[in-house]
C-alpha cells in the first residue's frame, strides 16, 4: 500500500486546459517510455515482490545525499563538525538507508565500495579535501529546500496546458556574490566523460532557471547561469591504475553553464513534451518505446513481464503479479545510474 497520499501532478483547469507541476524525474520517466510512465505514474502499479532493498548504488546515493545534507546543515548554522560527529553522521544515515540489506542483495558492488568503516573514511576524506574549503568560500542559503508546488516557477503555456517546474536542489549557496544551486551525485567511478552526464538534461537547468526566478520573487535581481554538480565516486580509486595513467579522483565538481538562449530552448522543449503528456492523459493513448524494454535505468523494465505477454493475458498478469505502488511524490530523487 502507498505510504503517503499520491501527489496529483496534473489538474483540469476551468478553461479546459491542464495545469501540470512536473519535475525532472517525472519528465525522465515520460521520455523513457510513455507506456512505462502510464503504468508507473497514472495507473500506479509495481511488480509484486519487487526487492524490498534498494539496488546498492541507489542506497549509497541516498546515504551520500543524507550525509551531505547533515554536513551543510552544520555549515549553515555555523557549527563545527568533530571527528566523532562525522562517524555519527555516517552511522545514522547508514541505518536509515538500510545499507546492510542492499549490500546483501548486491555483495559484489558492496565489496568494491567497502564497509561502514570505508564509508566513514570516505566522509573524512571529503571533510578534509572539500568541506574545509567550502567552509571558507560558501555561504549556505538553503539545504534541501523544495520549490514549485505553489506554482512559483511558471514555464509557459500551450493551448492544452499550463506548466510549472518543481524541484529541490541539495544546496543553494553564494560564492563570490554569485548564486548557485548544487546537487550531490554518486557514480561508480569518475572518468573523462562523467561531466557529460549532467548536460543536457532537465534537472540542473531547471534548478538554474528556478533559482533566478525565486530570487527575483524575493526582490533579488541576480543572474543565475550555472550550477555545481558535486560528484563522489563510490569505488575507491586505485593508487596504481592498470594503464599507468593518473589516479582517478574520488571527488570532483562540474560547473554546467547555461545561456539565456539555452534556458529559453529548454522551456520550449519542456512545453512540447508536456503538451504531448496532456494529449496522452486526455486520449489514454501511450506509445510503447520498445528500444527501452531491456534498459530502463540500466536494467530490465519492471513491466517487461507484462508487456511481453498477449493483450488477453495482461489483465490476469496485472492482477496476479502486480500491486498498487508508492506513487511519485515531488522532490524524489532521480533513480541513480549504475
Rule CB under 6 A: which residues touch ligand SF4?
Answer: 33, 35-36, 39, 288-290, 292-293, 296, 301, 303-304, 307
CA pseudo-torsion sign 64, 65, 66, 67: positive
Q: Which residue lies nearer to ligand SF4 by CB, 151 or 338?
A: 338
Q: Which residue lies nearer to ligand SF4 by CB, 38 or 258?
A: 38
* Least gap, CB of 295 to ligand SF4 (angstroms): 8
* Least gap, CB of 189 to ligand SF4 (angstroms): 28
Q: Which residue lies nearer to ligand SF4 by CB, 32 or 213?
A: 32
* Least gap, CB of 40 to ligand SF4 (angstroms): 8
Q: Which residue lies nearer to ligand SF4 by CB, 289 or 329?
A: 289
The span from the CA of 236 to the CA of 216, in Å, is: 42
Alpha helices (runs of H) in the chain, residue ranges in sequence order: 24-32, 34-37, 56-77, 83-96, 99-105, 107-113, 116-126, 132-137, 203-217, 260-283, 304-307, 311-321
The secondary structure of residue 167, as a DSSP letter, is B
Nearest of 64, 131, 51 to residue 96 by alpha carbon: 64
Q: Which residue lies nearer to ligand SF4 by CB, 149 or 293?
A: 293
* Least gap, CB of 254 to ligand SF4 (angstroms): 29
Tell me if the bond preceding 151 is cis, omega within 30° of 0: no
* Least gap, CB of 238 to ligand SF4 (angstroms): 36
- Asked if residues 140 and 93 have their Cβ atoms less than 8 Å apart, the reply is no
Amino acid at each position: 500500500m502507498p505510504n503517503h497520499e499520491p501527489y496529483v501532478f496534473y489538474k483540469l483547469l476551468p478553461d479546459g486546459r491542464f495545469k501540470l507541476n512536473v519535475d525532472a524525474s517525472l519528465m525522465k520517466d515520460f521520455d523513457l517510455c510513455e507506456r512505462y510512465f502510464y503504468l508507473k505514474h497514472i495507473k500506479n502499479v509495481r511488480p509484486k515482490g519487487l526487492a524490498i532493498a534498494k539496488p546498492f548504488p541507489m542506497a549509497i546515493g541516498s546515504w551520500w545525499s543524507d550525509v551531505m545534507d547533515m554536513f551543510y546543515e552544520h555549515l549553515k548554522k555555523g557549527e563545527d563538525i568533530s571527528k566523532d560527529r562525522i562517524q555519527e553522521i555516517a552511522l545514522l544515515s547508514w541505518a536509515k538507508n538500510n545499507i546492510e540489506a542492499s549490500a546483501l542483495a548486491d555483495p559484489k558492488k558492496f565489496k568494491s565500495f567497502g564497509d561502514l568503516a570505508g564509508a566513514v573514511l570516505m566522509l573524512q576524506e571529503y571533510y578534509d579535501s572539500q568541506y574545509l574549503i567550502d567552509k571558507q568560500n560558501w555561504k549556505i542559503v538553503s539545504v534541501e529546500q523544495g520549490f514549485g508546488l505553489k506554482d512559483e516557477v511558471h514555464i509557459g503555456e500551450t493551448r492544452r496546458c499550463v506548466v510549472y517546474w518543481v524541484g529541490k536542489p541539495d544546496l543553494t549557496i553564494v560564492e563570490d556574490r554569485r548564486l548557485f544551486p548544487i546537487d550531490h551525485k554518486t557514480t561508480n567511478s569518475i572518468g573523462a566523460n562523467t561531466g557529460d552526464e549532467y548536460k543536457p538534461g532537465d534537472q540542473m537547468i531547471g534548478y538554474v532557471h528556478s533559482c533566478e526566478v525565486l530570487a527575483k520573487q524575493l526582490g533579488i535581481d541576480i543572474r543565475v547561469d550555472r550550477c555545481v554538480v558535486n560528484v563522489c565516486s563510490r569505488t575507491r580509486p586505485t593508487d596504481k591504475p592498470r594503464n599507468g595513467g593518473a589516479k582517478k579522483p574520488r571527488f570532483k565538481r562540474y560547473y554546467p553553464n547555461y545561456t539565456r538562449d539555452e534556458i529559453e530552448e529548454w522551456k520550449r522543449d519542456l512545453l512540447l513534451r508536456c503538451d504531448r503528456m496532456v494529449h496522452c492523459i486526455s486520449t489514454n493513448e501511450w506509445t510503447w518505446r520498445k528500444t527501452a524494454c531491456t534498459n530502463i535505468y540500466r536494467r530490465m523494465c519492471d513491466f517487461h513481464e507484462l508487456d511481453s505477454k498477449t493483450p488477453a493475458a495482461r489483465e490476469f498478469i496485472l492482477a496476479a503479479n502486480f500491486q498498487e505502488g508508492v506513487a511519485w511524490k515531488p522532490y524524489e530523487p532521480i533513480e541513480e545510474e549504475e
